[in-house]
Chain A
Amino acid sequence: MYVCKSADKRLESYIAGKEVETSFNRVDHQKIKCGFGQQGVCCRLCANGPCRITPKSPKGVCGATADTIVARNFLRAVASGAACYLHVVENTARNLKAVGERKGKIKGEKVLHDLALLFGIDSEDVYEKAIKVAEKVLQDLYKARSEKMELVEKMAYKPRLEKWKALNILPGGAKSEVFDAIVKTSTNLSSDPVDMLLHSLNLGISTGLYGLTLTNLLNDVMLGEPVIRKASVGLKVIDENYINIMITGHQHSVIAHLQDRLTDEDMKKTAEEAGGKGFRLVGCTCVGQDLQLRGEHYQEVFSGHAGNNFTSETVISTGAIDLIVSEFNCTLPGIEPIANEFMVDMICLDDVAKKSNAEHIPFTMDRDEEISEYIIEKALNSYKNRRSKVVLDIPKDHGHDDVITGVSEKSLKEFLGNTWKPLLDLIAEGKIKGVAAVVGCSNLTALGHDVFTVELTKELIKRDIIVLSAGCSSGGLENVGLMSPKAAAFAGDNLRVVCEALGIPPVLNFGPCLAIGRLEIVATELAEALNIDIPQLPLVLSAPQWLEEQALADGAFGLALGLPLHLAIPPFITGSKLVTEVLTEKLPELTGGRLILEDEPAKAAEVLEEIILDRRKGLGLI
């Protein structure tokens, strides 16, 4: 069977030795791509279609040009991506509100206090504060499109806010903005590509500030703030002696009760009676990264992060997973037959991620205890039923034990002495040339699984550019060892010395894709410290192996923030000269951001380095 290349050679050889069909095998059968799809010039909006743009047929039946078709497709994709993240923040805020109402566990009082202060909430009681903070978020999300969201003004960096006002892209109610983006891109409605691109930036802002940033912070309130620590990653974290529950998704608060319940003393006894040492949550996909990020708070129950989106199928094929609990993407349909083969029951807590063979148990905070008990019982029964019938095969040599995790905008600043000055000094001295955020998904098509991400990252650190990562990219980077202190050896001489002195890796692990929001807080705070706007920073963004619509919504935020954004695979836009020109050439004059399309890692690193050098020059640094 064909096996897709991975930057993670041990993973690749493990998959090659298995008879289990995964995405790594299927990608070969899908290698012939539709060129119209790749260029974004296929329109399926009406029964006169599908129409495709060719030199001999430059317009659809309705008269839509390539520019219109591409812009419509792009805005639709961004709207879907924004909707996904807004769904996550909506649930997170609802969960926080419920926690406040029942006076439940608040583990991050400091964050809650900061948010209340920022939002202008005047209340002494911590629970009342939680309710009001959550309500503020929800009220904004539910506003009409004609009403601007209030928290944008409070959260956004002022120079950016002014820029967004000038461009008229300040979002109204986030859900309404998504709604009208869908209206706008329906049959024979908008044909104005520029308006649709501006709408994409508008959705980027609500994705970034609410979907990403606020989801992180509200989760920190409920689950505790990230603390920098050393952790194990890779398939080796799976311990067959425990009853293992694999979690997939993006909504950490949904398993807040479960992870606490599993640490109770009686749980250990229950597991022991069945023959296990206890219960363990095995991290996979972004919620696994989130579990890892806040891992300080429940070390005994979290086994570690096993791998990213396209590692999930393999995690199940180790045979040691007893139950899968999913609450969002990236829950691949490909896990279903594998779960069936390995007799792993699946429970879905949110119907947006309903898998065909999963049992749907709709999660609400008021039923969390009951749902946790149900999940535990399911896991227990599954463990008892399946372990004698399946073959266990855990590659204990896959992964690393010294990954530095728990890095956030706050923990990093704290590490530096509660100020960004040491980092800024290192940048000013040229010991660190600049900062690159290598983020987003993993895919199997940009040279292979994590191949582009890892090669680009190596190129960047070699050039003394420190890399921050969030998303499945970090799942890949940590599994190949680049997030361990020993990876300093791969860095350029200047960066290597810095890393060795501080005992840090040259690639910092911010966790899930949601934490792209944390990186953007870092960018904002660095700009603030220097009293400049974000596009002046020697800081670049790359989502080399972007996979999904959410990544495009994240990217739209990066562009709205004024960051250069590199992608290895074009986001289905090259069929329109206008859209391509606006995003790759005109955007610097609009937001300061810029889309960079480059499909070779070394060349991409070169382009990003040039931008950093150029920015340094602009700041008077050599």
Chain B
Amino acid sequence: MMGKEKADKGDDIMRRIMIQRDLCMGCLNCGLACMAEHNEKGKSIYDLDLEDLKNESRNHIGLDKERRPVPIFCRHCDEPECVYTCMSGAMTKDNETGKVAYDENKCASCFMCVMACSYGVLKPDDVGKKVVVKCDMCMDREMPRCVENCPTGCLYIEGGNQA
């Protein structure tokens, strides 16, 4: 797949989910993968309640003005506005891994990060409007589940050890 070739850049750059947007067909499998992976009731697709607003994807697919699908994913930015604007220390950048992490226990729900996010990806959760819905790169999972679940190769991993 195209993504794999591009990912061969070595590990001198931060590990990041990359998007080859012309390959996106809007199937929403990335969103389902994200919801399933972060579902308290279990990680199987069959455990996912698709009518429960508590299940929220941390990525989404928008449409551009030609109505072509556009995957919107957290970039774990090198210059993360969400971290710069966070007053409580909930948002942190790990310079080793490149990951921008969010700690909901430290969050004061001011949502400055939501307003500051350059990509419009961050948002308050729909049910409680208290925590920020934020990509965690699936924590310790070898491969983020959205990437694994993308049928077209639109999503791929670049940098890091590409595990």
Interface of B is mostly: loop
Interface string of B42-64 (1 = CB under 8 A from A): 00111011111111100000000
Question: Would you call B50 and A39 a contact (CB within 8 A)?
Answer: yes
A54–B46 touching, CB < 8 Å: no
Q: How far is the CB of A18 from chain B (nearest CB, A)?
A: 26
In angstroms, Cα B45 to Cα A570, docked, is: 11
Interface window among B9-17, B25-33, B98-106: B25-33
Kindly list chain B residues whose C-beta atoms are within 8 Å of the C-beta of A574: 46
How many interface contacts (CB-CB < 8 Å) are there between A and B?
A: 56
Tell me the smallest distance from the CB of B155 to a CB of chain A, in Å: 11
Q: Is the CB of A38 within 8 A of B45?
A: yes
Question: How far is B149's CA from A66's CA once the two chains are assembled, in angstroms?
Answer: 23
B29 contacts A39, C-beta separation under 8 Å: no
Contact with A along B136-161 (1 / 0, CB 8 A): 00000000000011110000000000
B35 neighbours in A (Cβ, 8 Å): 55
Inter-chain CA distance A52–B149, complex, in Å, is 17
Tell me which of A28-36, A226-234, A346-354 binds B: A28-36
Q: Are B27 and A39 interface neighbours, CB within 8 A? A: no
A35 touches B48 (CB 8 A): yes
Closest to A57 in B: B50
In the complex, whether A577 has a CB less than 8 A from a CB of chain B is: yes
State whether the Cβ of B36 lies closer than 8 Å to any Cβ in chain A: yes
Q: Tell me whether B54 and A54 are in contact (CB under 8 A).
A: no
CA distance A43 to B149 in the complex (A): 21
**Across the interface, do B126 and A56 meet the contact criterion of CB distance under 8 Å?**
yes
Residue of A32, A33, A54, A597 near B50 (CB, 8 A) is A54
Scoring B32, B35, B51, B56 by chain A CB atoms within 10 A of each residue's CB, the highest score goes to B51
- Are A34 and B51 in contact, with the CB atoms below 8 A? no
Provide the bound-state CA to CA distance between A570 and B46, in Å.
8
User: What's the minimum C-beta distance from A316 to chain B, rounded to whole angstroms?
Assistant: 30
Query: Does A503 make an interface contact (CB < 8 A)?
Result: no
A66 to B36, CA, bound (A): 18
CB <8 Å contact, A66 and B29? no
Query: Residue A58 at the B interface, CB < 8 A?
Result: yes
Report A4-62 residues with CB < 8 Å from chain B CB.
32-36, 38-39, 41, 52-56, 58
Asked if residues B51 and A58 are in contact (CB atoms below 8 Å), the reply is yes
A575 contacts across to B, CB distance below 8 A? 50
Contact of A35 with B126 in the complex, beta carbons under 8 Å: no
CA distance A33 to B29 in the complex (A): 8
Known contacts being A34-B27, A34-B29, A35-B32, is A55 close to B50, with CB within 8 Å? Answer: yes
Chain B residues within 8 Å of A597, by CB: 46
Is the Cβ of A54 less than 8 Å from the Cβ of B31? yes
A54 lies within 8 A of B28 (CB)? yes
CA distance A36 to B55 in the complex (A): 14
CA distance A34 to B29 in the complex (A): 6
Report whether B55 and A32 are in contact in the complex, using a CB–CB cutoff of 8 Å: no
Which B residues touch A599, using CB under 8 A?
44
Which chain A residues (43-98) contact chain B, with CB distance < 8 Å? 52-56, 58, 66
CA distance A38 to B149 in the complex (A): 13
A570 to B48, CA, bound (A): 13
Choice from A41, A55, A570, A577 contacting B53 with Cβ under 8 Å: A55
Asked if residues A39 and B150 are in contact (CB atoms below 8 Å), the reply is no
Complex contacts, A54 vs chain B, CB 8 Å: 28, 31, 50
Are A66 and B45 interface neighbours, CB within 8 A? Answer: no
Q: How far is the CA of A53 from the CA of B32 in the complex (A)?
A: 11
Measured CB to CB, the nearest residue on chain A to B45 is: A35
B53 touches A39 (CB 8 A): no
Check A577–B51 contact: CB distance below 8 A. yes
Indicate with 1 or 0, residue by residue over A560-573, a CB within 8 angstroms of chain B CB atoms.
00000000001000
Query: Once bound together, how far apart are the Cα atoms of A39 and B46, in whole Å?
Result: 7
- Expressed in whole angstroms, the minimum distance between the Cβ of A454 and any Cβ of chain B is 23
Inter-subunit contact B53/A56 (CB<8 Å): yes
A54→B148 CA distance, assembly (Å): 20
Which residues of chain B are near A35, meaning CB under 8 Å?
29, 32-33, 36, 45, 48, 149
Among B45, B48, B151, max chain A CB count under 10 A is at: B45
A55 engages B28 (CB within 8 Å): no
Q: Shortest beta-carbon distance, B56 to chain A, in Å?
A: 7
B28 touches A52 (CB 8 A): yes
Expressed in whole angstroms, the Cα–Cα distance for A41 and B46 within the complex equals 12
Is A39 touching B149 in the complex (CB atoms < 8 A)?
no
Interface of chain B residues 46 through 102 with chain A (CB within 8 A): 46, 48-56
B55 touches A55 (CB 8 A): yes
5 interchain residue pairs of minimum CB distance: A35-B32, A32-B151, A55-B53, A574-B46, A35-B45
Known: A35-B36, A55-B55. 11 other contacts (CB 8 A): A32-B148, A32-B150, A35-B48, A35-B149, A38-B45, A39-B50, A55-B51, A66-B51, A574-B46, A575-B50, A599-B44
**Chain B residues in the interface with A (C-beta under 8 A):** 27-29, 31-33, 35-36, 44-46, 48-56, 126, 148-151
Q: Can you list 30 A-B contacts with CB-CB less than 8 angstroms, sorted by A residue number?
A: A32-B149, A32-B150, A32-B151, A34-B27, A34-B29, A35-B33, A35-B36, A35-B48, A35-B149, A36-B28, A36-B32, A38-B45, A39-B50, A41-B50, A53-B50, A53-B51, A54-B50, A55-B35, A55-B49, A55-B50, A55-B51, A55-B55, A56-B56, A56-B126, A58-B50, A58-B51, A66-B50, A570-B46, A575-B50, A577-B51
